Amino acid sequence: MQKLTNKSIQINRDPLTFSERVYLPGLAKGLAITLGHVFKKKATVSYPEVKRPFSPVFRGLHILNRDEEGRERCTACGLCALACPAEAITMEAAERKPGEEHLYREEKYAARYEINMLRCIFCGYCEEACPKDAVYLSESVMPANYTRESFIYKKEDLLIPGNKK
């Protein structure tokens, strides 16, 4: 019970009852709450061994796609970079040379293709803008890292492994 005065607060403590002094009812009450939670459905999972299913609209790390013959689909047209609201995509185009038809699907390809994942907001506009089905957002979660540079994913990091030179 608290008695408020202008100058000080007086606290009158009622003496503890016998059951309060032996703590047993409180202990039993705590154990009952714990036991109740033991048999409830768990709210957590043992990540990374167990993973929760993603939402159907989840968008994760980007993948640069290849065609059915293993050739790079990207033609460095720049539409994905143009559609990107975060200006996260950078690329440099190059021309396919004779003898490289097994590597690149079209006459032009991306010699450099980078996505700055620190800028990316995973909106998926790049995927929608691509006329060649060359880039899509996968269900992989971006791993944590220690430096800003390590969040710049290069073409080698994004491209599905395929045909060798």
Q: Which is nearer to ligand SF4, 104 or 135 (CB)?
A: 135
Q: Which is nearer to ligand SF4, 122 or 151 (CB)?
A: 122
Instruction: Write down the least CB distance from residue 84 to ligand SF4, Å.
Output: 3
Residue 82 CB, shortest distance to ligand SF4, in Å, is 8
Query: Tokens 């060649």 belong to which residue?
Result: 132
Which spans in the chain are helix H?
18-22, 24-38, 79-83, 125-129, 155-158
CB of 150 to ligand SF4, least distance (A): 17
Question: Which spans of this chain sit near ligand SF4 (rule: CB under 6 A)?
Answer: 74-80, 83-86, 88-89, 91, 110, 115, 120-126, 129-130, 132, 134-135
Q: What is the DSSP letter of 60?
A: -
Please state the closest distance from residue 118 (CB atom) to ligand SF4, in A. 11
Q: How far is the CB of 66 from ligand SF4 (least distance, A)?
A: 12
99: left (phi over 0), alpha (psi -120 to 50) or beta: left
Which of 36, 56 has the CB closer to ligand SF4? 56
Q: Is the peptide bond before 48 cis (omega within 30 degrees of 0)?
A: yes
24-59 residues labelled b (16+ CB within 10 A) or e (exposed): eeeeeeeeeeeeeeeeeeeeeeeeeeeeeeeeeeeb
Are the CB atoms for 163 and 70 separated by under 8 Å?
Answer: yes
Identity of the residue, 1 or 112, whose beta carbon is nearer to ligand SF4 in the bound complex = 112
Q: Which one, 66 or 120, has the nearer CB to ligand SF4?
A: 120
